[in-house]
Amino acid sequence: MESNATTSRLTAIALSFMAVIWVSPFSWLILNAFNPMSTGQLEIPKSIGLDNFALAVSGNAGRQFLNSLLIAAGTATLSVVVGISAAYPLSRLRIPGRNAFLWTLVLLRMLPSAGVLVPLYFAAQRGGLLNQFGVIIALTILNLPFTLLLLKNFFDTVPIELEEAAYVEGATLFQIVTRIVLPMSRAGIAVVWFFSFTGAWNEFLLPLIFSRVQDGFPMSVGLYAAFGQQGAINYGFLTAFSIIYAAPAVGVYFLLRRNMNTGFAGVGVKG
Amino acid sequence: MADVSLRGVRKSYGSLEVVHGVDLDIKSGEFVVFVGPSGCGKSTLLRMIAGLEPISGGEISIEGRVVNDIPSPQRGISMVFQSYALYPHMSVYENMAFGLKLAKTPKAEVDQRVREAARILQIEDYLDRMPKALSGGQRQRVAIGRAIVRNPKVFLFDEPLSNLDASLRAQTRIEIAKLHDTLDATMIYVTHDQVEAMTLADRIVVLNAGRIEQVGSPLELYRNPINTFVAGFIASQRMNFLPVTVEGDRLVLPGGKSVASNHPQRGNARTLGIRPEHLVLATPETAQFSGTLSVIEQFGEYALAYVEMPNGDLMTVKLDGAPDLELHQAIHVGLPRDHIHLFDEAGRALR
């Protein structure tokens, strides 16, 4: 008994130590963000305020937040729309070699984006797309293979008999897709949308190269540029900025979890 | 209500032909059942009538109008699927109203028709539920309700009961029979279950390997099967078949005993068929054949005795009540000559 208690106390101490190591960067982040007179040290703030956050959502930083939102939401929506239009026929038509085709696309996605950066850049330059819209298109193109593969698998789970039933009842192809297939795959579509959203939100390289003016920077690029911008590093601003930058990912996580819990399409049809 | 006619209907997938020229006339208001073993083409035939499969050859007409090139929604049919195919994201009400809404029917009329169908099928209480909150039998009714609201000329059923358990199946069978009586609509029903075929049909179409074997009322098929396939397929217990040789006016059975026959074409008889319910127990002297009891299944109201013949074949004998028989005891069976069916070399019935 005695030795058991000692062991468990030792384990507790070791675990607390681990926990401190894990938690300290986060606590540093939070403590500095809420400290208007932050110095970049890990210390208990003398006063607490939201001044840093106010700074991080106004002016340049605020515009960067909107830019990020625009790029992420635009990419996610465009990926889903184009993905649906391509994945539905791929799911329903017996196209020879369709699986090989899909996996070839995935292989393309496996290439590091730096590897395709140069051709993408020149294509965008020729097309006059060196702006946010260009970033959205480029990211959508890079996203599409996975989007296609995921959406096709979701559509595969919608029983063909449901579509036949709707067809017999007089639904056109468009009505079958919008009223039967899409509502039944909404969990899958949400997953794809959120993944594309976070992917585009986190994207750094493409926006950096494509939008070379300060006004066009999303947060990822803005954060990088903010280092040493006003002569010295403003830790309070940077930490608040980082928290805002990370918030959508956390939000997406909870939204996703709720969506996954509501379950996938195609269940509960058989008797 | 409409009549349906099939003229030389064929279906092939590439070079493989699965339905080989089917001719059939279905009268208005008739309940026709397509029955046959799996892969006989019965579902394919139904799907061609529904417009879900292109027709490779021949003509299908509904109400005198050739529908080969008319898309399904304009054919005036409703279909009930084996898996019910209810839209899982819509309530029962929305499921039933879906087709009407697509057809831009006024709201009041949609409501009235859905409620009327729900009343007929006694599903009024579930109208707000989602399909996943319903039992199999209730889902089945919703699927039928969805077919009724569109007021079709022809109802098509694709094995609608095969996902239900045995007691529910019997119950739903009766409901479908009642429904046919109430609606007085043309119904085409596909099943592999000969009990459903016997009990529901005005006429049964027996299909085998993409061809019609025989068409007739249930009792016609029971009494006068046209060949050994139909004889073996129709009725709950399979017909017994015995090889026979003909000696004058007598048919000699395996084991040496014989039965008299005055059939004009008895000379061509190669196989004798007799249904289990027509066989009777006899004494060794009067029996046409004897064997040992290999298995007995007691159902209470009747029993099925499986008699092993000396040559190893099993014969089924249906006995009334609960006969007191011991396993492996000798059984002597008599063949009443009125109930004998004779078949020629090719398995065709001698008429």
Q: What is the ipTM of this complex?
A: 0.84
Q: Is the pLDDT of residue B331 over 50?
A: yes
b/e map A28-58, b = 16+ CB within 10 Å: bbebbbbbeebeeeeeebeeeeebbbebbbe
Q: What is the mean pLDDT of residues B11-22?
A: 91
Per-residue pLDDT at A1: 52
Per-residue pLDDT at B227: 93
The answer to whether residues B186 and B261 belong to one domain is: no
Output the domain CATH number for residue B320: 2.40.50.140
Per-residue pLDDT at A232: 66
Q: Is residue B137 part of a domain?
A: yes
Per-residue pLDDT at A142: 87
Return the amino acid letter for A208: L
Compute the distance between CA of residue A121 and CA of residue A98 in angstroms, rounded to an integer.
Answer: 30
Compute the distance between CA of residue B90 and CA of residue A203 in angstroms, rounded to an integer.
Answer: 39
The answer to whether residues B219 and B250 belong to one domain is: no
Pairs of CB atoms within 8 A across A/B: 77
Check A165 against B72: CB less than 8 A apart.
no
Sign of the Cα pseudo-torsion (B318, B319, B320, B324, in order): negative
User: Is B104 in CB contact (< 8 Å) with chain A?
Assistant: no
- β-bridge pairing B289-298 and B77-80: unpaired
Last residue of a domain, one of B233, B250, B285: B233
Per-residue pLDDT at B286: 86
Return the amino acid letter for B199: T
List, for residues B278-308, the tens digit of each pLDDT value.
999 998 888 888 899 999 999 999 999 999 9
To the nearest whole angstrom, how far is the Cα of A94 from the nearest Cα of chain B?
A: 14
User: Is B340 in CB contact (< 8 Å) with chain A?
Assistant: no
Compute the distance between CA of residue A64 and CA of residue A58 in angstroms, rounded to an integer.
Answer: 9
Q: Is the pLDDT of residue B344 over 80?
A: yes
Per-residue pLDDT at A268: 36
3-state helix, strand, coil in chain B (%, to 5): 30, 35, 35
Number of domains in chain B: 2
Going by pLDDT thresholds of 50, 70 and 90, the confidence category of residue A95 is: confident
Q: Report the greatest alpha carbon distance in chain A.
A: 78
The answer to whether residues B327 and B309 belong to one domain is: yes
Q: Is residue B350 part of a domain?
A: no
Compute the distance between CA of residue B64 and CA of residue B74 in angstroms, rounded to an integer.
Answer: 14
Per-residue pLDDT at A265: 42
Q: Identify the helix (H) or strand (E) that includes residue B193.
A: none
- The SS3 of residue B65 is strand
Per-residue pLDDT at A271: 32
Q: Are A135 and A79 in contact (CB under 8 A)?
A: no
A155 φψ region: left (φ > 0), alpha (ψ -120 to 50), beta (else): alpha
Check A169 against B73: CB less than 8 A apart.
yes
Q: Which two tokens stand for residue A192?
A: 């794809």
The residues near B87 (Cβ < 8 Å, ≥ 6 apart) are A162, A165, A166, A180, A184, B94, B95, B98, B131
The residues near B84 (Cβ < 8 Å, ≥ 6 apart) are A269, A270, A271, B131, B139, B140, B142, B143, B160, B163
Q: Identify the helix (H) or strand (E) that includes residue B80.
A: strand B77-80
Going by pLDDT thresholds of 50, 70 and 90, the confidence category of residue A263 is: very low
Q: Is residue B78 part of a domain?
A: yes
Output the domain CATH number for residue B165: 3.40.50.300
User: Is B141 in CB contact (< 8 Å) with chain A?
Assistant: no
The answer to whether residues B225 and B266 belong to one domain is: no
Per-residue pLDDT at B258: 86
Q: What is the mean pLDDT of residues A85-99?
A: 89
Rounded alpha-carbon distances, angstroms, from residue A180 to A35, A75, B76, B86? 52, 25, 22, 10
The answer to whether residues B220 and B248 belong to one domain is: no
Q: Which two tokens stand for residue B229?
A: 């396939």
Nearest by CB to residue A161, choosing from B81, B89, B102, is: B81
Q: What is the mean pLDDT of residues B241-254?
A: 88
Compute the distance between CA of residue B231 and CA of residue B275 in angstroms, rounded to an integer.
Answer: 9
Q: What is the mean pLDDT of residues A128-145?
A: 87
Burial of B202 (0-12, 13-18, 19+ CB in 10 A): middle
Chain A residues with at least one Cβ partner in B under 8 Å: 159, 161-162, 164-171, 175, 179-180, 183-184, 265-271
Check B83 against A167: CB less than 8 A apart.
no
Going by pLDDT thresholds of 50, 70 and 90, the confidence category of residue A252 is: confident
Nearest by CB to residue A170, choosing from B50, B73, B83, is: B73
Residues of A in contact with B138 (CB under 8 A): none
Check B81 against A266: CB less than 8 A apart.
no
**Substitution target from A154, A158, A163, A168 for chain B, most B beta carbons within 10 A:** A168
Average of per-residue pLDDT values in chain A: 84
Nearest by CB to residue A159, choosing from B83, B135, B139, is: B83
Q: Is the pLDDT of residue B60 over 70?
A: yes
Compute the distance between CA of residue A270 and CA of residue B33 in angstroms, rounded to an integer.
Answer: 23
Instruction: Indicate the domain borders of chain A.
Output: 51-157+186-261
User: Is B78 in CB contact (< 8 Å) with chain A?
Assistant: yes
List, for residues B172-224, the tens digit of each pLDDT value.
899 899 989 988 889 999 999 888 999 999 999 999 999 999 999 999 999 99
Q: Is residue B351 part of a domain?
A: no
The answer to whether residues B46 and B127 belong to one domain is: yes
What's this model's pTM, rounded to 2 decimal places?
0.81
Q: Are B154 and B187 in contact (CB under 8 A)?
A: yes
At residue A54's C-alpha, the angle toward residues A52 and A59, to 5°, is: 110
- β-bridge pairing B77-80 and B154-158: parallel
Per-residue pLDDT at A267: 39
Range of the domain at B193: 4-233
Q: Are B112 and B144 in contact (CB under 8 A)?
A: no
To the nearest whole angstrom, how far is the Cα of B37 from the nearest Cα of chain A?
A: 22
Residue in B with minimal Cα distance to A270: B83
Check B85 against A180: CB less than 8 A apart.
no
| Matching residue, tokens 């954060």 | A223
| Matching residue, tokens 């026709």 | B32
Check A165 against B77: CB less than 8 A apart.
no
Per-residue pLDDT at A264: 46
List, for residues A172-231, the tens digit of each pLDDT value.
999 999 999 999 888 888 888 988 998 899 888 888 888 777 778 888 888 887 776 656
Per-residue pLDDT at A231: 61
Residues of B in contact with A165 (CB under 8 A): 79, 81, 85, 87, 146
Rounded alpha-carbon distances, angstroms, from residue A107 to A102, A103, A143, B217, B258? 9, 6, 12, 62, 77
- Topology of domain A51-157+186-261 in CATH is MetI-like fold (1.10.3720)
Per-residue pLDDT at A3: 67
Residues of B in contact with A175 (CB under 8 A): 102
- The SS3 of residue B262 is coil
To the nearest whole angstrom, how far is the Cα of A157 from the nearest Cα of chain B?
A: 13
Check B102 against A170: CB less than 8 A apart.
yes
Q: Which two tokens stand for residue B182?
A: 């109430």
Nearest by CB to residue A184, choosing from B73, B89, B163, is: B89
Q: Is the pLDDT of residue B1 over 60?
A: no
Q: What is the mean pLDDT of residues B52-63?
A: 93
Distance, CA of A221 to chain centre: 16
Per-residue pLDDT at A262: 53
The answer to whether residues B37 and B183 belong to one domain is: yes
User: Is B95 in CB contact (< 8 Å) with chain A?
Assistant: no
Least confident of A14-18, A159-163, A209-213, B65-69: A209-213
DSSP code of residue A180: I
The answer to whether residues B115 and B160 belong to one domain is: yes
To the nearest whole angstrom, how far is the Cα of B78 from the nearest Cα of chain A?
A: 7
User: Is B102 in CB contact (< 8 Å) with chain A?
Assistant: yes
Q: What is the mean pLDDT of residues B339-343?
A: 92
- β-bridge pairing B186-191 and B154-158: parallel
Q: Are A158 and A266 in contact (CB under 8 A)?
A: yes
User: Is B302 in CB contact (< 8 Å) with chain A?
Assistant: no
Burial of B195 (0-12, 13-18, 19+ CB in 10 A): middle
Q: Is residue B349 part of a domain?
A: no
Going by pLDDT thresholds of 50, 70 and 90, the confidence category of residue B319 is: very high
Residues of A in contact with B50 (CB under 8 A): 168
Check A169 against B140: CB less than 8 A apart.
no
Check A169 against B102: CB less than 8 A apart.
yes
Nearest to A197 by CA among A133, A123, A128, A143: A143
Compute the distance between CA of residue A124 and CA of residue A212 in angstroms, rounded to an integer.
Answer: 13
The answer to whether residues B130 and B36 belong to one domain is: yes
Average of per-residue pLDDT values in chain B: 91
At residue B118's C-alpha, the angle toward residues B113 and B124, to 5°, is: 125
For residue B271, the tally of other CB atoms under 10 A from its CB is 18
Check A164 against B81: CB less than 8 A apart.
yes
Nearest to A206 by CA among A94, A120, A107, A90: A120
The answer to whether residues B54 and B203 belong to one domain is: yes
